[in-house]
Amino acid sequence: MGLAEILPEIDGSQLTTKSDLTEAVADLKVDILRWLVVTQLAVGGFIFAAIKFMR
């Protein structure tokens, strides 16, 4: 079976477009930034608590 025979059978509605990928990457960037901020705040809190505990 050649490529020319398979192409008409492909359902184009299931293919990912460049704009779909761009949107997904943007969402991931927001999620990663949010995760970084939250973890940095948590680490800062732990350091603050450790300093208070040491005194």
Judge whether 9 lies within some domain: no
pLDDT at 26: 97
First to last CA, the chain: 76
Q: How many domains does the chain have?
A: 1
Judge whether 26 lies within some domain: yes
Is the pTM for the entire model greater than 0.75? no
Judge whether 41 lies within some domain: yes
- Read off the tokens for 38: 């939250």
Judge whether 3 lies within some domain: no
**21 band by pLDDT with thresholds 50, 70 and 90:** very high
50: domain range?
17-54
Q: Burial code of 18-39, b = ≥16 C-beta within 10 A, e = fewer?
A: eeeeeeeeeeeeeeeeeeeeee
**28 band by pLDDT with thresholds 50, 70 and 90:** very high
Judge whether 25 lies within some domain: yes
pLDDT at 36: 98
- Say yes or no to pLDDT of 1 above 70: no
Residues 6+ apart with CB under 8 A from 32: none
Mean pLDDT, rounded, of the chain: 90
- Say yes or no to pLDDT of 3 above 80: no
